[in-house]
Amino acid sequence: MNQSYTKHEHAHIDRVRSLPCSVCDMPGPSEAHHISQDNPWTAVALCTDCHRHPKDGWHGQRLIWKVKKMVEIDALGVTIKRLMT
């Protein structure tokens, strides 16, 4: 995590990590995937598979993303909705 984040930004990332995965709904804790590395407010809650798996993950072939017909902005929307409830 970026050490230059403010206290509120760190708290936001911690909340994102506490959520279930925004793609497959695996219960948290999740990893915080940053759509924009310099902007903590674009963090998306992802399980390790949907984040880093070589076949399913965003940083891989994104197969589960394709099955779910999702892109990053869709997953961010799920994350924001869950943060608001």
Q: What is the DSSP string of 3-67?
A: TT--HHHHHHHHHHHHSPPTTT---S--EEEESSTT-GGGEEEE-HHHHH-TTTSTTTT-HHHHH
In a domain, 19, yes or no: yes
Region 15-29 average pLDDT: 98
pLDDT at residue 2 above 80?
Answer: no
In a domain, 69, yes or no: yes
In a domain, 14, yes or no: yes
pLDDT above 70: percentage of residues in the chain: 96
Tokens 């995965």, residue located:
21
In a domain, 2, yes or no: no
Task: Identify the CA nearest to 39 among candidates 71, 62, 16.
Answer: 16
pLDDT at residue 64 above 90?
Answer: yes
For residue 48, what pLDDT is reported? 97
Yes or no: say if 49 and 56 are a contact pair by the CB < 8 Å rule. Answer: yes
CA distance 70 to 8: 28
The answer, as to whether pTM is greater than 0.95, is: no
pLDDT at residue 3 above 70?
Answer: no
In a domain, 43, yes or no: yes
pLDDT tier at 76, thresholds 50, 70, 90: very high
